[in-house]
Amino acid sequence: MGAESRWSKWRQSEGANGLLMVSPTAIYAILMLAAPLGTIFLYSFLTDGYLEIIRQFTVANYVEAWTNELYRSVMIRSLGVAMTVTFVTVILAFPVAYFVSFHVEASKKSLWLFLITIPFWTSYLIRVFLWKVILGYNGVVNSGLIGLGIIDQPLDFILYNVNSVVITLAHAYAPFAILPIFVALEKIDRSLLEAGQDLGETKFRTFLRVTLPLAMPGVIASVLIVFIPTIGDYVTPQLVGGPEGRMVANLIQLQYLKLDNYPLGSAIAVSAMAIVTLVSLAFIGLNRRYLKGPK
Amino acid sequence: MTDKPTMIAFQDVQKYYGDYHALRGITAEIRAGEFFSLLGPSGCGKTTLLRTIAGFEGISSGAVMIDGRNMAGVPANQRPTNMVFQSYAIFPHLTVAENVGFGLRKAGLSKAEMASRVGDALEMVGLKGFGDREAHALSGGQRQRVALARALILKPKVLLLDEPLSALDKKMREQMQVELIRLQRQVGITFILVTHDQEEALVMSDRIAVMFEGEIAQLADPETLYRRPNSRRVADFIGTMNFLPAQIIGESGDTVEVEAQGFGRLVLNAEQAPGGTSGEGAVVGFRPETLTILFEGQTASDRESMAVIEEVVYYGDMTYYDVKLAGSDAAIRISMRNVFGRPVLEIGDETRVAWSPGALVLFR
């Protein structure tokens, strides 16, 4: 048994077959995801030499990213915006998911889900622009309210600040929040709800004691699906955020493309990823009693 | 039994789902402390009727009374009934103890009282010490016991059981049948069981309502139902029944004279001629065990006919013989308990068969 025959034996094994089949995707993922991430991670420990990068290990970028007042406040704002967006989106998504799951005829459910995804027919960028039109100084909301005589000065707190970022993101991520909750609600055995009432609880108490805990895996998935991408969103704060609505992605863009400080930009990016990971894990940890049991 | 008060009364209960007429004028009474079964094929309305008691299903007209009170407009959570669901509906996110104690929230018990009542309920169903188990880690039989404990802990006036044994394997089912009977005697409340399994209904019930297509076809105790079914359909549904064509010769007062194939001319009393239709001319029906194959030296106590064995099905404790009686071309089934030392007959054997006119039922 030489190395030759072991090799040919391996090549005919199921494991080799599997590797061969996943390799295109794996290579793509490694090149497009792992490699850039690794590069950024490396950059974050190198020294910035204004127009060039000096290959010298340092943690100064992290010290700067975590101690500089400006960076810290942008990071905290991003967290705050992402949490607000997540809260608003999930709170608004739950009733929609509940309605489709419990009150729409089984044969019409897929039509409803299809309608919910209609916003995706337009590009994300165009939807963000639309909010600019809707919320602007002479926008739909302001001219409408003035026309109705409800206000006489345009509202200026609805565009180019954190509020407009929250509104735009909450709209953009609504379908992502609805679908996981819908799936969790669909999985609930309806006889459990009858059992709740049979055991003396009102419909509302049954909802609190049975439906809601059983829907929690879907709610948790929704929270993560909305929270993780919104904290790093670049387009929305850029277009509707104004100076006070800037978020961490805008800051990273600034470091990379305007200030040409790759190491600091990388350090901020890695820090942001670390924070998202920690917050998400903490959230899952807090809700782990809802996630146990067979799936 | 008859002197017990009425617990549930259906008064001309009608139920429509759109055009579909699910319950067609159900009128019946269920007595307090009775083990009552609703028996019928799937789609006969038995589960719908049960759900009108629980309050999950409204009725189109008529009335459902529980303990003398009209239940119209009373929601499920305010009815003195509890249900064991077909799927058991055990809350998967709660432990066994939390499931059993689910309905006690409003009782305002202290933690210790709650724990002791839950413990008692679990002990009653044979799950002592299972309180801390996760509900989703239970077997089918254990789930059912949890469902029973969860319902009985609230001391309902009526316990509703929706095909509770259908998901269990045969051995488990037989064991649970006995346990349910024991439990019902112990707690003394009215049990209403929905089942499509006639054997289960016969074993467990004080009285049975056989339902077909939204109507009660016959309501009687198990023995009457088995021995004197009031229609060919009920006879067919409960156990095995043989049918042979017959001709009605004449009726006088309480008796009917018939000429039945294989049996000859007979006089049947009123109880044997319930008037139920057969759908295809008159027939006489009889159970397989009411005929006996006579072996050498045995004599019939009543009547005797000759027969030819057509088929032999050996079951260990029993042997089923399909035979043709002399003067009849229809095969009928006779079941015989096997006795040590007695031979099992073979196909083609000629034998004598003992029978009794009293075991026959006439359907016109």
The per-residue pLDDT for range B190-231, each reduced to its tens digit, is 999 999 999 999 999 999 999 999 999 999 999 999 999 988
- Mark yes or no for CB contact A189/B102 under 8 Å: no
Nearest chain B CA: its distance from A187 CA (Å): 12
Question: Where do we find the tokens 């954190």?
Answer: A162
Tell me the helices (H) and strands (E) count for chain A, helix number first.
Answer: 16, 2
**pTM score:** 0.83
Which pLDDT score is estimated for A49?
A: 80
Residue A176: which CATH number?
Answer: 1.10.3720.10
- Residue B154 pLDDT greater than 90, yes or no: yes
Q: Cβ of A295 under 8 Å from any chain B Cβ?
A: no
Which pLDDT score is estimated for B335?
A: 93
**Could you tell me where in chain B the CATH 2.40.50.140 domains are found?**
240-364
Which pLDDT score is estimated for B168?
A: 86
Task: Classify residue A59: in a domain, yes or no.
Answer: no
If DSSP codes are grouped into helix, strand and coil, which group holds residue A161?
Answer: coil
Confidence of residue B275 (pLDDT cuts 50, 70, 90): low
Dihedral sign computed on CA atoms, order A260, A263, A264, A270: positive
B6-227 placed in CATH 3.40.50.300: yes
Mutate to test the interface with B, among A105, A194, A199 (most CBs of B within 10 A): A199
- Residue B281 pLDDT greater than 80, yes or no: no
Residues 6 or more apart in contact with residue B155 via CB below 8 angstroms: B189
Q: Are strands B255-260 and B158-162 parallel, antiparallel or unpaired?
A: unpaired
Domain coverage including residue A266: 65-292
Q: Provide the angle, in degrees to the nearest 10, between the axes of the packed helices A109-116 and A162-186.
A: 160
Q: Tell me the per-residue pLDDT of B91-143, one tens digit each, with 9 for 90 and over.
A: 999 999 999 999 998 888 889 999 999 999 999 999 998 999 988 889 888 99
Name the phi and psi angles at B45, rounded to 5: 100, 5
Q: Which of residues 159-178 of B touch A (CB under 8 A)?
A: none
**Could you tell me where in chain B the CATH 3.40.50.300 domains are found?**
6-227
Task: Classify residue A54: in a domain, yes or no.
Answer: no
- The token pair at A103 is 């009150």
Q: Which of B32-46, B278-292, B326-340 has the highest mean pLDDT?
A: B32-46
Q: How far is CA A183 from the centre of its chain?
A: 18
A201: nearest CB among B77, B85, B89: B77
Confidence of residue B166 (pLDDT cuts 50, 70, 90): confident
User: Which ipTM did the prediction report?
Assistant: 0.84
Q: Are the CB atoms for A198 and B77 separated by under 8 Å?
A: yes
Segments of chain A with pLDDT less than 70 = 1-3, 293-295
User: d(Cα B275, Cα B361) in Å, to the nearest integer?
Assistant: 10
B134: nearest CB among A189, A213, A293: A293
Q: Once rounded to an integer, what is the mean pLDDT over residues B346-363?
A: 90
Measured from the Cβ of residue A18, the count of other Cβ atoms closer than 10 Å reads: 10
Mind spelling out the 3-state secondary structure of chain B? Answer: CCCCCEEEEEEEEEEEECCEEEEEEEEEEEECCCEEEEECCCCCCHHHHHHHHHCCCCCCEEEEEECCEECCCCCHHHCCEEEECCCCCCCCCCEHHHHHCHHHHHHCCCHHHHHHHHHHHHHHCCCCCCCCCEHHHCCHHHHHHHHHHHHHCCCCCEEEEECCCCCCCHHHHHHHHHHHHHHHHHHCCEEEEEECCHHHHHHHCCEEEEEECCEEEEEECHHHHHHCCCCHHHHHHCCCCEEEEEEEEEEECCEEEEEECCCEEEEECHHHCCCCCCCCCCEEEECHHHCEEECCCCCCCCEEEEEEEEEEEECCCEEEEEEEECCCCCEEEEEEECCCCCCCCCCCCEEEEEECHHHCEEEC
A242: left (phi over 0), alpha (psi -120 to 50) or beta: left
Residue B204: CA count within 13 A, CB half-sphere? 33
Task: Classify residue A5: in a domain, yes or no.
Answer: no
Which pLDDT score is estimated for B61?
A: 94
Task: Classify residue A276: in a domain, yes or no.
Answer: yes
Task: Classify residue A9: in a domain, yes or no.
Answer: no
User: Which of chain B's residues have a Cβ under 8 Å away from the Cβ of A218?
Assistant: none
- The token pair at B189 is 């409340």
Q: Cβ of B139 under 8 Å from any chain A Cβ?
A: no
If DSSP codes are grouped into helix, strand and coil, which group holds residue A54?
Answer: strand
Cα end-to-end span (Å), chain A: 45
Task: Give whole-number Cα distances, B37 to A13, B46, B47, B52, B96, in Å.
Answer: 60, 9, 11, 15, 28
User: How much of chain A is helix, strand and coil, in % rounded to 5?
Assistant: 80, 0, 20
Task: Classify residue A201: in a domain, yes or no.
Answer: yes
Buried b / exposed e over B60-73, threshold 16 CB at 10 Å, is eebebbbeeeebee
Which contiguous run of DSSP H or E holds residue A49? Answer: strand A47-49
More confident site: B161 or B301: B161
User: d(Cα B272, Cα B228) in Å, to the nearest integer?
Assistant: 7
Which pLDDT score is estimated for B276?
A: 56
User: d(Cα A132, Cα A138) in Å, to the nearest integer?
Assistant: 10
User: Which of chain B's residues have a Cβ under 8 Å away from the Cβ of A200?
Assistant: 77-78, 103, 105-106, 154
- The token pair at B29 is 């009474």
User: d(Cα B104, Cα B96) in Å, to the nearest integer?
Assistant: 14
Mutate to test the interface with A, among B87, B93, B136 (most CBs of A within 10 A): B93
Task: Classify residue A6: in a domain, yes or no.
Answer: no
- Mark yes or no for CB contact A198/B93 under 8 Å: no
Which pLDDT score is estimated for B278?
A: 54
User: d(Cα A230, Cα B19) in Å, to the nearest integer?
Assistant: 51
Least confident of B183-192, B203-212, B337-346: B337-346
User: Selecting from 3.40.50.1100, 2.40.50.140, 3.10.105.10, 1.10.10.10, what CATH number does the domain B240-364 have?
Assistant: 2.40.50.140
Domain count, chain A: 1
Mutate to test the interface with A, among B79, B91, B161 (most CBs of A within 10 A): B91
Q: How far is CA B176 from the centre of its chain?
A: 15
In terms of Cα–Cα distance, which of B231, B75, B241, B68 is closest to B157? B68
Task: Classify residue A8: in a domain, yes or no.
Answer: no
Q: Tell me the per-residue pLDDT of A27-63, one tens digit each, with 9 for 90 and over.
A: 999 999 999 999 999 999 998 887 788 888 899 999 9
Q: Tell me the per-residue pLDDT of B238-263, one tens digit each, with 9 for 90 and over.
A: 989 999 998 888 888 788 888 888 88
Nearest chain A CA: its distance from B222 CA (Å): 30
Which pLDDT score is estimated for A295?
A: 41
- Mark yes or no for CB contact A199/B91 under 8 Å: no
